[in-house]
Amino acid sequence: MDGGAVVGLRVRGTPTLGHVDFDVLDGYRFADGGGFPPSYRAFVRCAGWGRAFGLWLVLPPVLAGYADGCQGRGAELTERFRAAYREGEREGFDWMVEPDGHWALPGSLEVFARSENGDVLLWETASRTAAGEFPVWESRRSDTLHRLGADLYEALPLVRARSEEALGVRPFDVEPLPAVRLG
């Protein structure tokens, strides 16, 4: 099954793939022994590194020496997200887990995409489906938890619709961005 056709993305030009670490994309294992979700792998193969829907940066695994990879940047964003939610739980800010979450959830969520306005997309890594997928959640500025779907295939139309509300309809879904080497 062609990932681009399945995901239904319109990429402007040629995807930026030269710095994507395909060995990690295909070989990485989470604590449950499973790899990256098939929907994410299809997205990365189709879109590479770029800005999705004018707003979102989906973090692919990248080769050593490159910025914005899921291993580095994604891990940092995950730790910041979890720290914010630990603090929110201590303070009794129950609105942070509304409308769809609960306080046990943030510990199993991992960031795999960020928006340019401070929102993040997360996988629920403790709930892998038989198809190898993780449910996808959105946290808007670390203030809410919205379940977007059982996988990225279900979540992308919602992400696209919210982006279109904010930015208008675009002629393409993904704008490739140049790979950036670390200092």
Amino acid at 39: S
End-to-end CA distance of the chain: give it in Å, rounded. Answer: 38
CB 129 within 8 A of CB 113: no
Please report, to the nearest 10 degrees, the dihedral formed by the alpha carbons of residues 122, 125, 127, 129 taken in order.
90
pTM equals: 0.93
The pLDDT tens digits of the residues spanning 109-118 come to: 999 999 999 9
Q: Return the bridge partners of 52, or none.
A: 56, 174
C-alpha distances (whole Å) from 112 to each of 13, 17, 31, 169 are 23, 17, 16, 24
The pLDDT tens digits of the residues spanning 118-160 come to: 999 999 999 999 999 999 999 998 889 999 999 999 999 999 9
Q: What is the mean pLDDT of residues 89-94?
A: 96
Average pLDDT, the chain: 93
